[in-house]
Structure 1
Amino acid sequence: MRTNLKTQDYFNYFINSENQRILKFDNWLEMGKVVENRIPSIKRQLFIISLNILIAKYTSGYAIEELRREFPLVINRFVEGWNDHDSTPEDDVHFDEYLLMLRMLSLGVLLETNQYDFNKIIEVLHKSNRKDDLFSFIISYKTGYPSMVNKLTYEQFRPLCETTKEMDKNKAIAILKNYLDNDWYKSMKLTYWYDNHKSKADIFFGYWSFESGVLVKILGLDDTTLKNQPYYPYDMVHWRETTIWN
């Protein structure tokens, strides 16, 4: 377990019930039971559910290698279910869209997704016609092309941009730690999953700043002080080292 907010039994139930929802929606689509104008929203749900399951598995302690094997399927669901084509404003209502894209890019690097599958994420982003400093920074690491964007869509992520631009690595990790300890969770109030652990429904899957983890990986920062930080995905940043030693 990588959280103390829920039990292992809770996560077993959550993962099983969400997988059942996926089977139900897939069957509906296969049997033609979904009216045409509802197909995009069903495919969107399939992407969200599959991503939530992946995160829940990380939270409940699954091995990273298993998540790596499953992530390409999440990417495919993402490609089929994403429907943002620059038709929405950059306001609070669409904060979730931004964070979902940031999570997909971050997970793509943390799970060391192959370039072919990672390019699928990039292609969806390009079709969305959205440009952002953090997106560009992560993509640059994966593709080797220089980051050419100097625009941050949401101020909530300003500390992350400051981290990428800080040349002193000790100062960079200090900025990141302060952000995670004091600002990250409360800045996520606009998301669909904020405070889900308090709900009577079984909808909690974990609280993780994967984007913080990917910056540590890219910048080569010493994250010793973040090892027990509740929102920092330490195991996902360091899984390759653990695999080698084991």
Structure 2
Amino acid sequence: MLYRYSGGGEVQVMAQGFPSTLSFWQEFATHHVAFHQSKECDGHLVPHLDLYDRDYWEALQLVCFAILLGHSDQLQAIMDLLVYENDDQDALLEDLVAPYLPGRPGSKVYTRQLPYRKTRKIFDAKPEQRPALMAKYLDEWYDASRREPYYDRHKSSYFPGYWSLEAAAITFILGIDDSSYRDKKFYPKDLVDYARSVGRPPVGAAEADASGAAILRVPAGQPAPRAGWWFSAAQQGSRRHFQQGSVFPDIEYSAYGATFWQWSPDQSSPAL
């Protein structure tokens, strides 16, 4: 799937094929468990995907693609694969699935340290701080990934591309306005655009204003609940100021379908 994306494959086609990708992993897991239970196994049990090893990259792809391609209903099945014989669960993966799978114990262990543990600052930050922190994360992402299996792969005959899928998934989950970093290297912006076109951020991951009150997305045709800067994922560069009570306009001919307006984490006026 990663090669297909880097090769310019249609995101919608990838989304349609994701259930098959997961089913292949589930079939592998069935045979893997059967081997562990057989006489051929020496009793040394290993994970389906070792979160402390290079397999982590594939585990992260499974989780992020499920979120970004509209298959969050498959996250429980993915986490069932990852829990097998892994002594620790990974903090980033748990942060990504937490809004969809409430009740999980979570984790403070980053089984792969860099660049992933830097995402903690983004999750913990106030909404208005997140765009700048994500931009910084993307700027540092490749150099911080020097111990990861994808690093320097452009020197190989098999190059999957460089994509920070976790940056995209976090942007979608937290409803971050990505207008300030969507053209940065390594950011798969069209995956975020697709996720926003087929679904909403999960309940419990809504942004909050300075008082801590959740601000949900408001559909076009409805009045602004408060004065300030709002944006719509249906149109790039749509951030604009609305007075309280002003009616949000509809953005016609958008691939997103219905237009929703979101409170912008950046409430500063544009620089002249």
CA distance in 1, matches of 2:70, 2:19: 11
Partner of 2:141: 184
Following TM superposition, the consecutive aligned residue runs of length 4 or more in structure 1 with deviations greater than 6 angstroms are: 86-89
Distance 1:128 1:99, change over 3 A: farther
Choose which of 123, 137, 142 in structure 2 pairs with 1:164: 123
In structure 2, runs of 5+ residues without a counterpart are: 33-45, 198-233, 235-253, 259-272
The answer to which structure, 1 or 2, has the higher relative contact order (CA under 8 A, 6+ apart) is 1
Q: Residue deviations 1:96-133, cap 9 Å, x none?
A: 22222122111111111152x33221110121433121
Q: Residue deviations 1:177-203, cap 9 Å, x none?
A: 11211x21122223333222233x2x1
Is the 1:102–1:211 contact (alpha carbons within 8 Å) kept by the matching residues of 2? yes
Distance 1:229 1:59, change over 3 A: same
Q: Percent identity?
A: 23
Distance 1:88 1:209, change over 3 A: closer
Partner of 1:4: none
Partner of 2:102: 144
CA distance in 1, matches of 2:51, 2:173: 30
- Using the TM superposition, give the Cα deviation of residue 81 of structure 1 relative to its aligned residue in structure 2, in angstroms: 4.1
- Using the TM superposition, give the Cα deviation of residue 152 of structure 1 relative to its aligned residue in structure 2, in angstroms: 2.1
- Using the TM superposition, give the Cα deviation of residue 56 of structure 1 relative to its aligned residue in structure 2, in angstroms: 2.1
Partner of 1:122: 79
Structure with the higher fraction of residues in strand conformation: 2
Partner of 2:159: 204
- Using the TM superposition, give the Cα deviation of residue 163 of structure 1 relative to its aligned residue in structure 2, in angstroms: 0.7
Is the 1:140–1:147 contact (alpha carbons within 8 Å) kept by the matching residues of 2? no
Q: Residue deviations 1:190-231, cap 9 Å, x none?
A: 3333222233x2x11211010111111111111111211120
1:2-13 equivalence runs, <5 A: none
Which one has a bigger Cα radius of gyration? 2
In structure 1, runs of 5+ residues without a counterpart are: 1-53
Read off the aligned partner of 2:165 and give its amino acid letter.
F
Structure with the higher fraction of residues in helix conformation: 1
Partner of 2:11: 64
- Using the TM superposition, give the Cα deviation of residue 136 of structure 1 relative to its aligned residue in structure 2, in angstroms: 1.2
- What SS class does the counterpart of residue 171 from structure 1 fall into? helix
1:11-90 equivalence runs, <5 A: 54-81=1-28, 84-85=46-47, 90=52
Choose which of 104, 109, 113 in structure 2 pairs with 1:155: 113
- Using the TM superposition, give the Cα deviation of residue 89 of structure 1 relative to its aligned residue in structure 2, in angstroms: 8.7
Is the 1:163–1:176 contact (alpha carbons within 8 Å) kept by the matching residues of 2? yes
Is the 1:55–1:205 contact (alpha carbons within 8 Å) kept by the matching residues of 2? yes
- What SS class does the counterpart of residue 163 from structure 2 fall into? coil
Choose which of 188, 191, 197 in structure 2 pairs with 1:236: 191
CA distance in 1, matches of 2:192, 2:183: 13
Matched, 1:109 2:104: no
Partner of 1:18: none
Is the 1:226–1:234 contact (alpha carbons within 8 Å) kept by the matching residues of 2? no
CA distance in 2, matches of 1:57, 1:219: 26
Is the 1:197–1:204 contact (alpha carbons within 8 Å) kept by the matching residues of 2? yes
Partner of 1:26: none
Read off the aligned partner of 1:108 and give its amino acid letter.
A
Read off the aligned partner of 1:100 and give its amino acid letter.
E
TM-score, normalised to structure 1, is: 0.66
Q: In the comparison of the two structures, how many residue pairs are matched?
A: 184
RMSD: 2.5
Read off the aligned partner of 2:89 and give its amino acid letter.
K
Partner of 2:237: none
- What SS class does the counterpart of residue 243 from structure 1 fall into? coil
